[in-house]
Amino acid sequence: MDFLLKKFISMFLMPLPIGVFFIVLALVLLYRNKTKPARSMLIFSILWLFFFSYPPVANTLLYSLESSTQTLHKAPGNIKYIYVLGGGHHTDESLPITSQVVETSVVRLNEGIRLYHQLHEEASIIVSGHSGLFDPTTHAVMQEKLALALGVKKEKIILCPEPRDTQEEARAAKELVGDKPFILVTSASHMTRSLNFFKAEGLDPVPAPTNHLAGIQHPNYTKFFSSDALEKSRIVFHELLGLVWQKLKGV
């Protein structure tokens, strides 16, 4: 219940839902003939949506999260496991496996496989994730299918289908890897929060952030109300809410 409640509440505490809420509030005020506060609220809602859908702002905010952990270009030689955190999927056998697994998960797994090849295919890749509410197939199984399609040996894949979120993945990692050295692969924006969970379990993984989305080298100052930028702002909100939740829980 706590898991579902957390997901439900966080769904509304994102830039777009908040901006829409301000617009609805402005319309309610206007309906009640409160013209001045309605006008102020409408202006505020437009500025809110403009701010978080403006590429330079969204990229700067996201870059602050993604740059907190350095990229792992070369895997240490003593690694025994590569733990690839789960993402999402939708089972549809009419599609190739690369289309059934969401882009984020595809990128994460590819980074894990890149490091796996650097280690001469001696380390095991751990894939995790439960089935969700409406999909009968676990995410771990979907990632296994993708890993096999990309040439990973079946005996080098370890399935962990129970975890529903990152905290549960950290607990599962403690049981799976023990005190053996391992690499943690997840999105760059998600790495700080992930490391907090894993270190809370007494683990010290080698971080391998991937799926970097923030581009600040060549900012586009003339593009406004970008849906891509709004999605990047959503990621920032999601991670910041997660970090606040960690603080409240003492992680």
Q: At residue 1, does pLDDT exceed 60?
A: no
Cα–Cα distances (Å) from 127 to 60, 105, 109, 228, in that order, read 31, 10, 8, 28
Average pLDDT over residues 127-148: 93
**Amino acid residing at 42:** L
Please compute the mean of the pLDDT values over residues 103-116 and round it to a whole number.
98
For 64-108, how does the pLDDT look when each residue is reduced to its tens digit (9 = 90+)?
999 999 999 999 999 999 999 999 999 999 999 999 999 999 999
Is 80 exceeded by the pLDDT of residue 135? yes
- In whole angstroms, what is the distance from residue 236 CA to residue 152 CA? 33
pLDDT tens sequence across 199-244 = 999 999 999 999 999 987 777 778 889 999 999 999 999 999 999 9
d(Cα 182, Cα 202) in Å, to the nearest integer? 13
The predicted structure's pLDDT at residue 251:
79
- Length of the chain in residues, anyone? 251
Please state, in angstroms and rounded to a whole number, the distance separating the CA atoms of residues 131 and 163: 9
Is 5's pLDDT higher than 70?
A: no
| Region at 151 (left for phi over 0; alpha for psi -120 to 50; beta for the rest) | left
* Residue 21 clears pLDDT 90, i.e. is over it: yes
Query: Judging by DSSP bridges, how do beta strands 157-160 and 206-210 pair with one another?
Result: unpaired
pLDDT band at 4 (very low <50, low <70, confident <90, very high): low
User: Which has the minimum average pLDDT: 69-78, 116-125, 153-162, 210-219?
Assistant: 210-219
Which residue, among 59, 19, 67, 14, has the nearest Cα to 43 in the 3D structure?
19
- Rounded to two decimals, the pTM is 0.92
The predicted-structure confidence for 47-58, as pLDDT tens digits, reads as follows: 999 999 999 999
The b-or-e profile of 169-205 (16+ CB within 10 A means b, else e) is bbbbbeebbeeeebbbbbbbbbbbbbbbbbebbebeb
Q: What is the tens place of the pLDDT at every residue in 34-43?
A: 999 999 999 9
For residue 3, the model assigns a pLDDT of 62
Q: Which domains does the chain have, with CATH numbers?
A: 2-66+227-249 (no CATH), 81-210 (3.40.50.620)
CA-to-CA distance for 157 and 137, rounded, in angstroms?
17
User: Where residue 175 falls among pLDDT bands split at 50, 70, 90?
Assistant: very high
What confidence category does residue 114 fall into, taking pLDDT thresholds of 50, 70 and 90?
very high
Give the closest residue to 179 by CA, choosing from 213, 202, 207, 212. Answer: 202
More reliable by pLDDT, 10 or 199: 199
Mean pLDDT, residues 162-183 taken together: 95
Coil/strand/helix, residue 211:
coil
Say which residue, 79 or 11, is predicted with more confidence.
Answer: 79
- Per-residue pLDDT at 2 exceeds 70: no
- Tokens 């409240």 belong to which residue? 248
